């Protein structure tokens, strides 16, 4: 359903709605896929997952920051989160979004912020994953990671299989810890596969290459077909369990998360938290229209109805005016 996908992607990029959502707190069902708005709440969620043998990667929500002051605040919150993970003896590492730390403002400014974060994590032997965002930020994110790697080696990144260059990047960064995903943003057909089958094929090809050649692979998907394929492939190729892990997002396919951990696979849940949940949540709705079930009647109040109504009208008008121009 490409129209629904486009609709939710457009919503995820709407700054007005993002600001409004931050004021209202966790709404629209986001509380089932966002582990709270503050550090004590996220630590509690991590501890609960740890008790089932699941480790976590923690994302202090926020992205596409345009003011230096916001990026500095985000850096401070992430450092506080690292300290809290350490103090509480939680089994977790950190995922950062470079755009939240100023990558679109100034590379050197972002580098300084990221160095402080990675340096703090390094004291505690904690890994830091650089999440990948939209295409324009992919190469700058690789550059950032390579520059930080000159000082610290506790860094890794994400390969988005929908990009034509994904295999080439996997080969180039095989000495890093890599998370392989399908890709969550709307990208141009000049740089990325658009067809689901093409993306799935590339995803499998890259995962297999990574399992055979890379330092450590995180296979991040909710797709049971891919997970079953990986299990079989690892068995046939004698890939030991300590060379890879499965990852899923907090709140999704909880039974399968527990089952994989029980079966003895390394399992890591991506745990997002914070007030800036809106863009993240809309991308989850874009990925799988059935996730709209998360938007339950109980939380559907007048304000959220109005927000979605305004958004739907803006989207339809936007499409109509685009069509007129074409
Ligand atoms: C841990 C993690 C980290 C990520 N980090 C990034 C990142 O840094 N950058 C980025 O661009 N993207 C990231 N993503 C998002 C990713 O790129 C995909 O957009 C997202 O995972 C959806 O693709 P999928 O592989 O899960 O399966 P999909 O293609 O969405 O689904 C495939 C099939 O799996 C089944 N399925 C999927 N979800 C469910 C469900 N909830 N319940 C039941 N069945 C289901 C259905 O049969 C579906 O048809 C991340 C994803 C995860 C899990």
Q: How far apart (Å, rounded) are the C-alpha atoms in residues 310 and 41?
A: 32
Residue 101: its pLDDT value, please?
Answer: 97
Q: Phi/psi at 80 (nearest 5 deg)?
A: -60, -40
205, 139, 203: which is closest to 169 by C-alpha? 139
pLDDT for res 262 = 97
Q: What is the pLDDT of residue 291?
A: 73
294 or 236, greater pLDDT: 236
Count how many residues are written for the chain: 326
Where do the DSSP E strands lie in 221-313?
Answer: 244-249, 267-273
- pLDDT surpasses 50 at 276: yes
Stated as kind and residue range, the H or E segment containing 47 is: helix 39-50
Q: Is 131 a catalytic residue?
A: yes
**Which CATH architecture describes the domain 35-276?**
Alpha-Beta Barrel (3.20)
Closest atom of ligand 1 relative to the 269 alpha carbon: 1
What's the pLDDT at 52?
97
pTM: 0.89
The DSSP bridge pattern shows strands 155-160 and 128-130 to be parallel
Mean pLDDT of the chain: 88
Atom 47, ligand 1: residue with shortest CA distance? 223
Query: What is the Å distance from ligand 1's center to 222 Cα?
Result: 5
Separation of 181 CA from ligand 1 center, angstroms?
7
| pLDDT tier at 297, thresholds 50, 70, 90 | very low
Select from 223, 226, 249 the residue to mutate for testing ligand 1; criterion: most ligand atoms less than 8 Å from CB.
223
Amino acid 13: pLDDT: 74
Catalytic residue among 59, 77, 131, 284: 131
Compute the average pLDDT of residues 106-114: 98
pLDDT value for 300: 44
- Of 77, 177, 179, 283, the catalytic one is 179
Contact yes or no for 248/256 (Cβ under 8 A): yes
Closest approach atom of ligand 1 to CA 182: 17
Instruction: Tell me the DSSP string of 122-180.
Output: HHTT--EEE---SHHHHHHHHHHHHHHHTT---EEEEEETTBTTHHHHHHHTTTSEEEE
What's the pLDDT band for 177 if we cut at 50, 70, 90?
Answer: very high
Q: Is 197 a catalytic residue?
A: no
Place of tokens 């103090």: 87
State yes or no: pLDDT of 135 exceeds 50: yes
Q: What is the pLDDT of residues 212-249, one digit of tens each?
A: 999 899 999 999 999 999 999 999 999 999 999 999 99
Pocket of ligand 1 (CB under 6 A): 131-132, 158, 160, 181-185, 220-223, 247-249, 252-253, 270, 287-288
**pLDDT tens digits for 26-64?**
666 678 889 998 999 999 999 999 999 999 999 999 877
At 314 the pLDDT is 56
- For residue 2, count other CB atoms closer than 10 A to its CB: 8
Where is pLDDT greater, at 174 or 309?
A: 174
Question: DSSP assignment, residue 277?
Answer: -
Of 250, 287, 255, 289, nearest to 272 by C-alpha is 250
What is the pairing mode between strands 55-60 and 216-220?
Answer: unpaired
pLDDT at 211: 98
What CA–CA distance (Å, rounded) separates 213 from 188?
29
pLDDT, tens digit (0-9, with 9 covering 90-100), for 138-162: 999 999 999 999 999 999 999 999 9
């Amino acid at each position: 359903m490409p129209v629904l996908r486009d609709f939710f992607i457009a919503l995820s990029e709407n700054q007005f709605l993002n600001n409004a959502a931050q004021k209202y707190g966790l709404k629209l069902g986001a509380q089932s896929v966002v582990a709270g708005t503050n550090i004590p709440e996220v630590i509690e969620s991590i501890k609960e997952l740890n008790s089932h043998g699941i480790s976590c990667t923690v994302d202090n929500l926020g992205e596409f920051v345009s003011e230096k002051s916001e990026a500095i605040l985000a850096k401070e919150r992430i450092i506080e989160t690292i300290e809290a993970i350490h103090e509480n003896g939680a089994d977790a590492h950190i995922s950062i979004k470079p755009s939240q730390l100023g990558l679109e403002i100034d590379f050197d400014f972002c580098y300084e912020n990221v160095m402080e974060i990675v340096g703090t994590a390094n004291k505690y032997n904690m890994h830091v994953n650089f999440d990948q965002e939209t295409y324009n930020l992919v190469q700058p994110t690789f550059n950032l990671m390579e520059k930080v790697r000159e000082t610290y080696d506790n860094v890794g990144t994400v390969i988005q299989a929908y990009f034509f260059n994904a295999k080439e990047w996997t080969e180039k960064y095989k000495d890093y810890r890599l998370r392989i995903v399908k890709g969550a943003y709307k990208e141009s057909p000049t740089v990325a596969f658009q067809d689901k089958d093409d993306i799935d094929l590339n995803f499998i090809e890259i995962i297999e290459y990574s399992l055979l050649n890379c330092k450590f692979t995180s296979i991040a998907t909710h797709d049971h077909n891919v997970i079953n394929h990986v299990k079989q492939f690892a068995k046939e190729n004698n890939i030991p369990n300590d060379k890879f892990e499965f990852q899923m997002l907090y709140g999704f396919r909880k039974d399968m998360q527990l089952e994989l951990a029980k079966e003895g696979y390394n399992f890591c849940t991506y745990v997002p938290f914070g007030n800036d949940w809106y863009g993240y949540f809309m991308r989850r709705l874009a990925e799988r229209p059935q996730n709209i079930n998360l938007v339950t009647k109980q939380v559907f109040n007048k304000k959220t109805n109005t927000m979605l109504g305004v958004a739907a009208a803006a989207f339809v008008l936007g499409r109509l005016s685009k069509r007129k121009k074409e």
